[in-house]
Amino acid sequence: MKFSTKEDIEAPIDAVFEMLCDFESFERAAMRRGAEVQRLDNREEPGVGAMWEASFTMRGKRRELQLELVEFDRPNDMALESTSPGVLGRTSFELIALSRTQTRIMVSLELKPLNLSARLLVQSLKLAKGTLTQRFNKRVAEYALGMQDRYALESGKSNAGQGLS
């Protein structure tokens, strides 16, 4: 099962990539949503090999997940692979500079079941794919807008909140 979307952000590619590398903010956001997150590596700089362990409740069941940064090509792309009992996942971020001040971000998420119970879970997700796709697109758009606003604030520009294309 795969989800993908793209958004244009009014910020240079290097700034967008740096915001994607702010892993601590992702950890805090997950914890605010009730997940437990623990960093497993002690890397000071972002790069291949960064790892996390997370647990959260989804569909009434506690889920355990390990994440690893498996691709890191500054400022073009990065990919995370997730492993949980029964499901493999891959989240990819690809950046394209549209101009010196505008970046397109393409985000994809792919889930692959490894056993029967995971296959049933993914099948039930497929039944709700339309709704889940809308949620995925909305979350990515909100995050992209937040990145755009954050860049505008940090760079002193006043165009924050104008929206995305």
Is residue 164 situated within a structural domain?
no
Nearest 5°: the CA angle 103, 108, 113 is: 170
| Residues 79-107, mean pLDDT to the nearest whole number | 97
One-letter identity of residue 117 = S
Mean pLDDT of 76-89: 96
| Domain contains 6 | yes
Residue 165 domain-assigned (yes or no): no
Residue 62 corresponds to which tokens in the numbers above? Answer: 């506690």
**Alpha-helical runs (H) found in 71-162:** 116-127, 129-155
How many domains does the chain fold into? Answer: 1
User: What are the contacts of 30-39 at 24+ separation with CB within 8 A?
Assistant: 30/54, 30/56
Residue 163 domain flag: no
Q: Is residue 162 part of a domain?
A: no
Query: What does pLDDT average to over the chain?
Result: 92
39, 52 Cβ separation under 8 angstroms? yes
pLDDT higher at 13 or 118:
13
Distance CA 100, CA 165 (A): 17
In this prediction, residue 158 carries a pLDDT of: 52
CA distance 116 to 113: 8
Q: pLDDT at residue 160 above 60? A: no
pTM score of the predicted model? 0.88
Which residues share a beta bridge with 7? 105
* Contact status, residue 91 vs residue 2, Cβ threshold 8 Å: no
Query: pLDDT digits over 35-69, tens only?
Result: 999 999 999 899 999 999 999 998 788 989 999 99
Tell me, what CATH number does 100's domain have? 3.30.530.20
What spatial distance separates the first Cα and last Cα of the chain, rounded to whole Å?
A: 26
Residue 20 has pLDDT above 50, yes or no: yes
Residue 145 lies in a domain: yes
The conformational region for residue 95 under phi > 0 = left, psi -120 to 50 = alpha, else beta, is beta
Give the domain range for residue 70.
2-155
- 20: its two tokens: 């994607």
